[in-house]
Each structure stands twice: as structure tokens, then as C-alpha cells.
């Protein structure tokens, strides 16, 4: 449940970040967009600014580290083993509490 709430918050931030000009994304009725902004304004959420330019060398380094098993103690598991990019960084496994 916590993961679902977190996903919704991140998705909402991404949605707001992509709407700098107060226009709803294609196909989204204005009323829903306004309602979402009103709901999120209670927490002081503001749109994310423009992304800074990325250094391609650092992007390549990050990607290499993410998939490199050498970071693990037994050298048999990488970050991406659990944080699968195709599953949005998750592993689709249930969390026992």
C-alpha cells in the first residue's frame, strides 16, 4: 500500500512537472487537471523545474554501475537484478510485514 501511495505521488509530481504552462495533457479534461492541482496544493507541491543538462559520461557511468555485479559481495547480483528497469525500478515481489 505504501508503495502504491508513493507511486501515485511520484506520478503526480511527474504530471505536474510536465505541465509548466497550466495546460492539461492531451486528452485530460481541464476539470480533472484543476482538481489534481488543488488536491496537491495542500502539501505545497510545486512543478519540477527544467532538468539540468546531463553529462553523457556520467549517464554512462551510472548505467554501467546499475548493471555491474561487481558491486555485490559475491559478485553475483547487480542493482538492476532487483530494481528492474522494465518494472519501473521494482521487483514485483510482495513485501512481508
- Distance of alpha carbon 24 from alpha carbon 14, whole angstroms: 13
Exactly one of 63, 81, 85, 87 binds ligand HEC (CB under 6 A); which one? 81
- Stretch binding ligand HEC (CB under 6 A), from 11-19, 29-37, 54-62, 80-88: 80-88
Q: Between residues 30 and 89, which has the closer beta carbon with respect to ligand HEC? A: 89
Q: Which residue has cell 484543476?
A: 34
SS3 content of the chain, % helix, strand, coil (to 5): 50, 0, 45
Binding residues vs ligand HEC (CB under 6 A): 71, 77, 79, 81-83
Amino acid at each position: 500500500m505504501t508503495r502504491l501511495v508513493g507511486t501515485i505521488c511520484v506520478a503526480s509530481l511527474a504530471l505536474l512537472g510536465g505541465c509548466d504552462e497550466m495546460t492539461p495533457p492531451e486528452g485530460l479534461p481541464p476539470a480533472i487537471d484543476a482538481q489534481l492541482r488543488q488536491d496537491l496544493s495542500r502539501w505545497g507541491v510545486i512543478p519540477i523545474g527544467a532538468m539540468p543538462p546531463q553529462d553523457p559520461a556520467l549517464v554512462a557511468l551510472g548505467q554501467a554501475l546499475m548493471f555491474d555485479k561487481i558491486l555485490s559481495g559475491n559478485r553475483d547480483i547487480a542493482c538492476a537484478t532487483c530494481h528492474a528497469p522494465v518494472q519501473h525500478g521494482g521487483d514485483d515481489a510482495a513485501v512481508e510485514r
